Structure 1
Amino acid sequence: MSKKLTISSIKKSKGVRPLVMITAYDALFARLVSQSADMILVGDSLNMSFAGKSDTVSATIEQMIYHTNAVCMGAKNSFVICDMPFGSYSDKTTALQNAIKVFQQTPADCVKIEGGKDKAQIIQHLNDNGIAVCGHIGLLPQSVRSEGGYKVKGKTEEEKISLIEDAKAVEKAGAFCMVIEGTKADVAKEVAEAVNIPVIGIGAGAEVDGQVLVFSDMLGLFEEFTPKFVKKYLDGATLVKDAVARYADEVICKEFPKEEHTY
């Protein structure tokens, strides 16, 4: 983006234009996506994309700080969000201690916390101490083990009411925007309409205030599985493997390096 967004401009975007959010975990990809994304999320999804883990739960605050610094170096003019990993905000004291680490040790613009009504007091506490917060409701990846898998939310009237209550609680606690994940599209639309801050969807339909995708999913680099909500904008894995295979062939046949590649 030519001009870095602020919390104020992000909030004002609601009802004006959809927000574009994408994940990045290093300086290289951050630099590439920063030209088009309004916000870059340093997601704990890096534990799956980078570390090969089956879920996000074992990500640590040290990992998040390291990758957030890398992203900020590559995209110095981007609004950067640091995911607070599992266990780093289990209570108000722990949450503030870890969020202060993020703010002191990185240039991140805010942190992201999973949870609705149950995390409202923590969001409020961070706000009261100068920490900007992006909320996250709906399907919560950090709760996948306790829930027995990735389960779509908003399938019942009770779940819909609870999600709307979650969104209102997160907004009241001071979050300037929130992610809603893995939620029935019609319900996500009602949730977005129930609050005055932007609601960014992932697997939550088009009638919200923006979208976020994991970069390795949308570029076709992650091959293990493809969630239903992901659109692949590039067959990245095939392109990379073909390029590496061509390189290997040229090395074996001594076609590389040629004179123009030699000092």
Structure 2
Amino acid sequence: MSAQSETGRRQTPSTIRARKGAEPIVCLTAYTTPVARIADQSCDLVLVGDSVGMVLHGLPDTLGVTLDMMILHGRAVARGLSRAAMVVDLPFASYEAGPQQAFAAAARVMAETGAQAVKLEGGAHMAPTVEFLVTRGIPVMGHVGLTPQAVNTLGGYRVQGRGAAGDRIAADARALAEAGAFSVVLEKLPASLGQRITDEIAVPTIGIGAGAACDGQVLVIDDMLGLFAEFRPKFVRRYAELGRDATAAVAAYAEDVRARRFPGPEHGFADEGTQA
């Protein structure tokens, strides 16, 4: 059952894991309370992604995102959720040094935001860290394929896993699942590889540009709402054009202010003792 149809029941990493091979899992990002309230009505998972650095803070990539930023936005999103499970990204340089560093960062995120889980990027080399966290009570979502925190190593935001490289990514996903991850994000992979990994691992796969066979899908909510006119990833379907609509609305407001059509009498207040 989805968060929408299962009124009153809070989704958890355990209920998400149990959805393997069942009804597709719906996930979107959120970074603020109002957007979280909207997503909560229809989503099973809400991801507080480190994409917040690019989407809300104007950073060129996710590398400048800090743990304090993730906690700030995690707190905001938590206030807007009542049914969807909340997962918070561990940002670059907060977990890669080893399991102890990862535990300190993840424990702080869990305690200060109320998140149900954390997400970290990386393949088989991160499996010991995933196991370390999970055995200490911190549910983990994995992330393989295009991992934005490694964009400089990967040479840009390119499709991953074509040809022989697919075997390595499939092995990465298996290692994370076997280490205890409750789900694994597959980003920007050939659809055939997305299906292969989904078939091979025992936990749900959450695709973003990895084909329709994944157990669920995630998008950056600002992308699917069309808030950025110039940014059109191939794997995103736009369900609205809010950027265009907002630009038109602001232009109309500016025109009304300059023409003194706003505010009108109905927007003002009368003197004390008079009716208005």
Scaled to the shorter chain, the TM-score interval is: over 0.9
Equivalent position SS for 1:114: coil
1:123 corresponding residue in structure 2: 130
Question: In the alignment, is the contact (CA less than 8 A) between 1:27 and 1:70 conserved in 2?
Answer: yes
1:218 corresponding residue in structure 2: 224
The answer as to 2:103 corresponding to 1:111 is: no
TM-score, scaled relative to structure 2: 0.92
Deviation at 1:103, TM superposition (A): 1.1
User: Radius of gyration: which is bigger?
Assistant: 2
Question: In the alignment, is the contact (CA less than 8 A) between 2:13 and 2:117 conserved in 1?
Answer: no
The answer as to 2:141 corresponding to 1:134 is: yes
Q: Deviations over 1:191-213 (max 9, x none)?
A: 01001110000010101101000
The answer as to 2:12 corresponding to 1:15 is: no
Q: Deviations over 1:6-39 (max 9, x none)?
A: 2222112111111000001000111111111111
1:175 corresponding residue in structure 2: 181
Deviation at 1:246, TM superposition (A): 1.0
Q: Deviations over 1:138-190 (max 9, x none)?
A: 1100000122211211211x222212211111011111111000100001100
Equivalent position SS for 2:95: coil
Q: Matched residues, percent identical?
A: 42
Q: Out of 83, 101, 110, which is 2:108 matched to?
A: 101
Greater Cα shift, 247-256 or 174-183: 247-256
Figure out how many residues of one structure are paired with residues of the other and give that number: 262
1:242 corresponding residue in structure 2: 248
Q: What is the letter of the counterpart of residue 103 of structure 1? A: M
The answer as to 2:186 corresponding to 1:185 is: no
Deviation at 1:54, TM superposition (A): 1.5
Equivalent position SS for 2:162: coil
Q: What is the letter of the counterpart of residue 107 of structure 1? A: G
The answer as to 2:42 corresponding to 1:36 is: yes
The answer as to 2:56 corresponding to 1:50 is: yes
Q: Out of 130, 151, 156, which is 1:149 matched to?
A: 156
Question: In the alignment, is the contact (CA less than 8 A) between 1:21 and 1:37 conserved in 2?
Answer: yes
Return the alpha-carbon distance in structure 2 between the equivalents of residues 8 and 89 of structure 1. 23
The answer as to 2:84 corresponding to 1:78 is: yes
Q: Deviations over 1:33-89 (max 9, x none)?
A: 111111100000011101111211110000000000000111233210100000010
The answer for unaligned runs of 5 or more in structure 2 is: 270-276
Q: What is the letter of the counterpart of residue 211 of structure 2? A: G
Equivalent position SS for 1:53: coil
Greater Cα shift, 69-78 or 128-137: 69-78
Return the alpha-carbon distance in structure 1 between the equivalents of residues 190 and 152 of structure 2. 21
Return the alpha-carbon distance in structure 2 between the equivalents of residues 105 and 189 of structure 1. 36
Q: What is the letter of the counterpart of residue 140 of structure 1? A: T
Return the alpha-carbon distance in structure 2 between the equivalents of residues 198 and 148 of structure 1. 28
2:259 corresponding residue in structure 1: 253
The answer as to 2:36 corresponding to 1:65 is: no
CA root-mean-square deviation = 1.1
Q: Deviations over 1:200-251 (max 9, x none)?
A: 0001010110100001100000234211111111111110011111111111
Greater Cα shift, 169-178 or 5-14: 5-14
Question: In the alignment, is the contact (CA less than 8 A) between 1:23 and 1:213 conserved in 2?
Answer: yes
- The 4+ residue runs of structure 1 with deviation greater than 4 A are none
Q: What is the letter of the counterpart of residue 49 of structure 1? A: V
Question: In the alignment, is the contact (CA less than 8 A) between 1:49 and 1:222 conserved in 2?
Answer: no
